[in-house]
């Protein structure tokens, strides 16, 4: 049986103020084309369909169009992620055609979507994102809530999965989960799901499943497990931050053999624009060739902030989205000595201040300027210039 695994569409998201809806439409069209070309039996969307709980109307319309297009080629199984509103995403789930399965309610955990091929039954268990604060009550067997942790609620969910799977001898199984699995590598574009200082679950939690289709982390990767279970993140179809500039975005085609063996193939997705992360002095950046059509993030390292910094870079890089001024050597770890003002001269205070702000040793000219400013202010008196 063949699956197409994707996740983290984040419909409605912007990149440094740039609306990404057209770019999202373009990659979703590519995903539909992959589903058709690879003749997959099912498409799995492992959470974070939307970027926020109340998505814009345009994002909702795009999701509806994508669902309809994918359902022309395969069964579509969608779960909710930590960015989604489970209730809003799952509204009307019982009204959809048989080939569209929205699973967002924890009460349905353990009830699989059943598919079949010539080798027999494949049970797909979609797990919506399980926020420990609510899931510890919903998944508790009795009146006592589960411990407040991702591990506890995922253990409870997988207990329900295994209980159902035990009654299906010979069935192969796929689990769909939106979670941070130990060993995964995050970027800065995923929203934190830390609860009680912990945000992850062990890969061995999913032991017994043939394949675990993961969502949440935006980079395609395969967390290691000591069990025979294969786990993989398909990653987001678009680059959603400059931390993802080097990612090759893709969807994953999963081949599930009759014996439960899993083969994964990543199909690259064309991105609307390349990304470039540049660093150097303003002069060096302005002399950098290329990147005219790229989304650019620039870090300027001049000792002093150049005049007209953003405008000059924007003129050079028309798709500039982010500028940071970070003088070379600034931000180095260190301890600023504490001392009373009365114990230090104006020149010493000026040196401490400049070193603290820039991370650099103040020049003689800077110290002279600071000292003159101090003397001018002192001469003016406490009530204003000239003591007035």
Q: Does any domain span residue 133? A: yes
Say if residues 236 and 198 touch (Cβ distance below 8 Å).
no
Q: 170 with 219, same domain?
A: yes
Above 60 in pLDDT, residue 387? no
With pLDDT > 70 as the criterion, what percentage of the chain qualifies? 91
pLDDT at 357: 66
- For the ranges 73-87, 103-117, 174-188, 335-349, the lowest mean pLDDT is seen at 335-349
Q: Does any domain span residue 24? A: yes
pLDDT tier at 333 (50, 70, 90 boundaries)? very low
Distance of CA 50 to the CA centre of its chain: 12
Which two tokens mark 270? 């064309």
Q: 299 with 166, same domain?
A: no
Q: Does any domain span residue 195? A: yes
pLDDT digits (tens, 9 = 90+) for 361-379: 778 887 778 778 877 777 7
Q: 208 with 234, same domain?
A: yes
Q: Does any domain span residue 330? A: no
Contacts made by residues 137-146, CB under 8 angstroms, sequence distance 24+: 138/106, 138/107, 139/106, 139/109
Which two tokens mark 288? 């950098």
CATH number at residue 219: 3.60.21.10
Above 70 in pLDDT, residue 182? yes
Say if residues 222 and 212 touch (Cβ distance below 8 Å).
no
Above 70 in pLDDT, residue 384? no
Helices in the chain by DSSP H: which ranges? Answer: 21-37, 57-71, 86-90, 132-138, 150-166, 282-286, 309-316, 346-358, 364-380
pLDDT at 334: 41
Whole-angstrom distance, CA of residue 350 vs CA of residue 112: 68
Based on DSSP, count helices (H) and strands (E) in the chain, helices before strands: 9, 16
Q: 109 with 200, same domain?
A: yes
pLDDT digits (tens, 9 = 90+) for 285-312: 999 999 999 999 999 999 889 999 999 9
pLDDT at 233: 97
Residue written as tokens 């994918």?
70
Kindly report the pTM of this predicted structure: 0.83
pLDDT at 89: 92
Whole-angstrom distance, CA of residue 48 vs CA of residue 349: 51
- For the ranges 136-145, 264-273, 298-307, 368-377, the lowest mean pLDDT is seen at 368-377
Whole-angstrom distance, CA of residue 233 vs CA of residue 223: 8
Residues in the chain, total: 388
In the chain, the number of structural domains is: 3
Q: Does any domain span residue 95? A: yes
Q: 237 with 296, same domain?
A: no
Q: Which domain holds residue 300?
A: 275-325
pLDDT tier at 339 (50, 70, 90 boundaries)? very low
């Amino acid at each position: 049986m063949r699956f197409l695994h994707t996740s983290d569409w984040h419909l409605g998201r912007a990149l440094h103020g740039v609306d990404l809806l057209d770019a999202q439409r373009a990659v979703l069209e590519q995903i539909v084309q992959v589903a058709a070309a690879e003749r997959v039996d099912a498409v799995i969307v492992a959470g974070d369909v939307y970027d926020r709980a109340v998505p814009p109307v345009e994002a909702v319309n795009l999701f509806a169009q994508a669902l309809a297009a994918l359902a022309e080629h395969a069964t579509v199984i969608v779960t909710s992620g930590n960015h989604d509103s489970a209730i809003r995403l799952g509204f009307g789930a019982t009204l959809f055609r048989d080939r569209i399965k929205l699973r967002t309610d924890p009460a349905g955990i353990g009830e699989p979507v059943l598919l079949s091929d010539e080798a027999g039954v494949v049970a797909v268990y979609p797990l919506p994102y399980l926020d420990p604060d609510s899931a510890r009550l919903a998944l508790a067997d009795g009146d006592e809530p589960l411990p407040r942790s991702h591990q506890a609620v995922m253990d409870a969910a997988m207990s329900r999965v295994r209980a159902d799977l035990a009654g299906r001898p010979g069935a192969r199984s796929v689990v769909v989960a939106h979670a941070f699995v130990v060993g995964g590598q995050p970027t800065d574009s995923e929203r934190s799901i830390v609860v009680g200082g912990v945000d992850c679950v062990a890969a061995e939690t999913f032991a017994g499943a043939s394949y675990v289709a993961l969502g949440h982390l935006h980079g395609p990767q395969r967390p290691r497990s000591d069990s025979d279970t294969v786990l993989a993140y398909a990653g987001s179809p678009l680059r959603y931050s400059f931390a993802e500039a080097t990612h090759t975005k893709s969807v994953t085609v999963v081949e599930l053999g009759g014996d439960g063996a899993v083969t994964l193939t990543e199909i690259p997705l064309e991105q609307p624009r390349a990304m470039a992360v540049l660093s150097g002095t303003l002069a060096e950046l302005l002399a950098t060739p290329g990147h005219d059509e790229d989304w650019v993030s620039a870090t300027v390292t001049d000792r002093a902030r150049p005049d007209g910094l953003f405008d000059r870079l924007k003129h050079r890089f028309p798709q500039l989205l982010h500028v940071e001024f970070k003088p070379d050597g600034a931000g180095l770890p260190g301890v600023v000595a504490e001392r009373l003002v009365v114990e230090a001269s104006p020149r010493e205070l000026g040196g401490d201040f400049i070193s603290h702000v820039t991370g650099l040793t103040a020049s003689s000219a800077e110290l002279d300027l600071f000292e003159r400013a101090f003397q001018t202010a002192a001469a003016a008196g406490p009530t204003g210039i000239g003591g007035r």
